[in-house]
C-alpha cells in the first residue's frame, strides 16, 4: 500500500477540545467586546448603511413615499453651482489653514519650549482658544471685524485708511475665515509639537553639536525636524480634517451669504433647511470620500519620510 493510501485510511486527528476555562475566557472576552461592537454598529455602521440607502433616493424629510433614483444625486452634485462653489471655497480654506496651522504651531512650540520660567503661562495663553466654544468665539470675531463698530477697522481708520468689509467682500471672506481657522487650531497643534519636542533626547542635540552642527538651524534640520516626523504626520492629518470640517465660522459670521458656502454648510442647508435628505446624503458621502482620500494620501505620502 502506498504512502498516500495509508494516509487516506489513517484516522483523522481529533480536534483538541477546549477546556472549560478556555471557553469561559472566550465568552468573557466576547462580553467585554460587546459594548464596543454595539456602539460601533449604532453610531457608525448602521448610520452609514442608512446614509447610503438615502443617497440613491429622492427622499425628502417628512415625505411619506420615496423613489429610487440611482446615482442621480451624485451627478446632480457635480453640476450644482452651489456645491461646486462650496467645494472651491473649502479647498481654498484648507490650502491656507493646513500649512499655516502646522508651521506656525511648530515655530510657536519651539519658542515656548525654549522658555524656562514663563513656559506654563505661554502654553495656557495659546491653548485657550481650543477650550473656548467655537460659536462664541465666532461671535467675538464678528464684533472684532465689524465694519463700523469693530476695533480692527477702528485701528485701520486710525491709520488713515478706509474700513475693510472683511465679512461681506467675496474676495476677503474665505481668507478672513481661514485666519480665524488658523487661530483655532494653533493652540492644539502647538501642544502636540511641544510633546514631540519633549520626547527628543537631548543627547542627540549634543552629538550633533559635536559632529559640527554648531548652528541651531543645522541642528533643527538634522535632529529636531526628522525626530518630529510622527508628530508632524499626526498634526497634518488632524489639521486637514479640521479644515474640511469648517462649519461654525460660516454659520455664525455669514450664514453662507456673499458666496461663502463650504461643504459642510451646503450639506446642512440641503438636509435641514431645504429638507432634501436624499441629496444631502449624497453630499455627505462625497464629503466623507474627499476626507478619506485626503487622509490616506497624506498618510501614504508622508509615512515614507517619517523616522519612528
Q: How far apart are CA 170 and CA 86, in angstroms?
A: 13
> Based on the number of CB atoms within 10 Å of its own CB, is 262 exposed (0-12), middle (13-18) or buried (19 or more)?
buried
Task: Return the domain boundaries, the chain.
Answer: 17-55, 79-269+294-303
Q: State the pLDDT at residue 308.
A: 52
pLDDT digits (tens, 9 = 90+) for 174-189: 898 999 889 888 888 9
Report the pLDDT value the prediction gives residue 102, as an integer from 0 to 100: 92
The pLDDT of residue 305 is above 90: no
**Residue (of 191, 168, 184) closest to 255 by Cα position:** 168
pLDDT higher than threshold 60 for residue 1: no
pLDDT tens, residue by residue, 83-96: 999 999 999 999 99
Residue 141 predicted with pLDDT over 60: yes
Q: What kind of architecture, by CATH, is found in domain 79-269+294-303?
A: Orthogonal Bundle (1.10)
Contact by Cβ (8 Å): 191, 127: yes
Query: Mean pLDDT throughout 281-308?
Result: 80
For cell 450664514, name the residue. 255
Question: What are the C-alpha distances in Å from 155 to residues 9, 80, 146, 263, 301?
Answer: 96, 41, 12, 33, 44
Amino acid at each position: 500500500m502506498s504512502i498516500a493510501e495509508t494516509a487516506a485510511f489513517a484516522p483523522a486527528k481529533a480536534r483538541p477540545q477546549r477546556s472549560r476555562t478556555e471557553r469561559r475566557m472566550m465568552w468573557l472576552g466576547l462580553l467585554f467586546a460587546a459594548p464596543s461592537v454595539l456602539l460601533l454598529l449604532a453610531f457608525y455602521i448602521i448610520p452609514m448603511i442608512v446614509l447610503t440607502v438615502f443617497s440613491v433616493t429622492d427622499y425628502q424629510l417628512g415625505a411619506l413615499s420615496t423613489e429610487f433614483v440611482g446615482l442621480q444625486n451624485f451627478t446632480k452634485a457635480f453640476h450644482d453651482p452651489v456645491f461646486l462653489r462650496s467645494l472651491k471655497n473649502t479647498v481654498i480654506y484648507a490650502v491656507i489653514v493646513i500649512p499655516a496651522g502646522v508651521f506656525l504651531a511648530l515655530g510657536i512650540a519651539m519658542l515656548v519650549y525654549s522658555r524656562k520660567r514663563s513656559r506654563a503661562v505661554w502654553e495656557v495663553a495659546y491653548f485657550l482658544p481650543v477650550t473656548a466654544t467655537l460659536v462664541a468665539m465666532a461671535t467675538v470675531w464678528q464684533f472684532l471685524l465689524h465694519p463700523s463698530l469693530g476695533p480692527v477697522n477702528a485701528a485701520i481708520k486710525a491709520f488713515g485708511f478706509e474700513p475693510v468689509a472683511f465679512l461681506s467682500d467675496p474676495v476677503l471672506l474665505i481668507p478672513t475665515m481661514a485666519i480665524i481657522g488658523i487661530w483655532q487650531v494653533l493652540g492644539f497643534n502647538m501642544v502636540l509639537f511641544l510633546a514631540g519636542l519633549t520626547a527628543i533626547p537631548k543627547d542627540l542635540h549634543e552629538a550633533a553639536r559635536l559632529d559640527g552642527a554648531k548652528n541651531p538651524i543645522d541642528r533643527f534640520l538634522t535632529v529636531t525636524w526628522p525626530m518630529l516626523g510622527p508628530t508632524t504626520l499626526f498634526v497634518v492629518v488632524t489639521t486637514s480634517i479640521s479644515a474640511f470640517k469648517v462649519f461654525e465660522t460660516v454659520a455664525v459670521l455669514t450664514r453662507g451669504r456673499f458666496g461663502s458656502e463650504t461643504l459642510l454648510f451646503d450639506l446642512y442647508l440641503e438636509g435641514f433647511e431645504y429638507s432634501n435628505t436624499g441629496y444631502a446624503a449624497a453630499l455627505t458621502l462625497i464629503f466623507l470620500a474627499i476626507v478619506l482620500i485626503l487622509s490616506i494620501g497624506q498618510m501614504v505620502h508622508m509615512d515614507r519620510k517619517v523616522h519612528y
